[in-house]
Structure 1
Amino acid sequence: MTATPYALHCHEYGNPPLIDARPLPPDATPGPGEVLIEVACAAFNFTDYLMIQGRYQDKPALPFVPGLDAAGTVRAVGAGVASFAPGDKVISSGVVGAWSARLVAPAHRLVKIPGQVSAADAVASINSHLTAYHGLIDRAALQAGERVLVLGASGAVGQAAVQIALHRGAEVFTVARDGGLLQLAGPQGAALRVPPAELKQGLRELLGAPGADVVVDPVGDFHTEAAVRNLGWRGRLLVIGFAAGDIPKIPANLLLLKGATVMGVYCGGLLLRETAAFTSQLAAMLALIDAGVLTPSPHETLPAHRFDDIWARHADAPRGTKVLLGFTG
């Protein structure tokens, strides 16, 4: 199966789903505005995990080729495509059918992978690193000297947010789970370990009266209100996700008294509604990886035709490690 180019096909939704590898027909010809990519690797994202179980909001008709993010090399371009040429190393995001050795994608959805950044590093880092970039740079318009509080700082989004905030000259404060306690740390290395019930007071002690200018929140649950109570004047709360469980309810009076703003951070919406902004920010984020500012997200690559192994590893991989499907080598 590995000697012939192939794609994975989902024939039945489930846990696990029924997926097999099938040879591809002869090379597709990209149409106007399209690019044919020889895929090196594709990401197994949480969205993909839901989609192949039939649990996502969009349910493609069976059978279908899953996958949304892929990276590889341009093989051919269609009419009207001037920004890419055969041999370019590129990344595709949000194009269904990425779990395939070849992918035809719209040129306006592609970004060149810069310098020495590998295809695997690029595709593994889209979700976490672009979310952090979009939140801090686009939504919050972070400025040098501002104070940033990162919740869930040990996760992939949190780590990327810390690196971006430091690069922008911000003061960074973090919260991370440490067993049954929460580890709070400041820019001078000052640290507190507090029970979850004491997070609000712990943040008050850590941040002091000025509070935080920006809160990066991929965690939700009780963390959110505690962080909002420690926002400074004109503070911005970046709502990214709810990894801790419950979707929080924020008392509106806190926002009023602090002149605060709640900002949703949703790269999927950006991709669909502002595609040019999405690709521009993805290119800027990849440039930060190339410059050594951002550390690529940890990842493991398994041969794509061994989907049973990939499915099992997706469940067992260390937290924050992205599982990739390899189509070359």
Structure 2
Amino acid sequence: MPHDRQPSLKPVSDFLGSGLQILIGIGLLFAGGELFVAGSVALSLLLGIPQIVIGLTVVSLGTSAPELFVSLISTVQGNFGIAGADDLAVSNIVGSNIFNVLVVLGLSALVVPLRVKSRLIRRDVPLLLGVSMAVWGMASGGRLTWQAGAALLVATVMNIVWEVRTARENPDEPDAMDGSGSHTPAVAALKLVFGLVLLVGGSQLLVTGATTAALALGVSTTVIGLTIVAAGTSMPELVTSLVAAYRGKADLAIGNVIGSNLLNQLVILGLCAAVSGTRGLGVDPVMIQRDLPIMVITTLACLPIFWSHGVITRLEGAVLVLLYGVYLAEQLLGSLAPGYSEEFRLGVLIILLPATLIFVAWQVLAWREERRHS
């Protein structure tokens, strides 16, 4: 009889093996990202590149390096006809953006209320909202073409130029790069190369583990990408923002999220769409109907929260984290218990959505009343 049990144990062993691959992959991505940023910054300073340019390009891209390598490798695998690879590439970006707004901002606000700079309200959040809506529109046909990717990359260059020009208006901002130039060129290059190797290896492990986990659990690669992979590749943003919030640097905690979400779409999706070539980057219809709109709505929700009183309170942070819990539950129910997913969505529409809208409206009205009496 023991041999009869062997087949039933295989899915369990596959899942445990894939889980170990995912954990090791996330660890390698985290270490690789740290080395990649340190080496890139040091080498850039040694080459005489202005620090503002380093901050707006190398450092910002450094925290998004896990998303970049995971999505890029998935796209390359898609070029060779591997099933589900495109779904993982796109869902990783969309899921990371949702995770960053709801979890990273929410948990950071729970550590300490985050004061929002007016620049974010006037420029960065509207820009992120516009890019998110544009990406949704580009993907609505079920495929991101290489032309769409090229447009996103051109928009990246335009944004960097704009960032550099507007950053000159704030010359008194603290220097975050002090000490980075103390490396020799050899040490800086070694860190850069070794970080790159860890990023590639970690990405490969994470993609393989996520695909295997999806098969073992019987869920789609899209769901795995939106949840496990997205959370794993967003760990640098989470750690950076939590530490920044704890140290009282709210602008860094918030700017890290907004900047990362912008780069995820402009640079990473742009590169993946361009690399996909003439076939284009496939987008799951479910993602077009559900997850891309949620990504846009979460970005849109930042505006009234930021604008109402210029502070993300602990209560608002708790609401953001709660909303992510609901989103995660909906993802898992839809895959593991589809019979209950419709009832759950109906409950969200009837109870949670109106309650959230009332909460946001109440916050705005409370701020207006406070301004009128002050």
Q: Please tell me the TM-score bracket, short chain as reference.
A: under 0.3
The two structures have a TM-score, normalised by structure 1, of 0.23
Query: Where is the strand percentage greater, Structure 1 or Structure 2?
Result: 1
Query: Where is the helix percentage greater, Structure 1 or Structure 2?
Result: 2
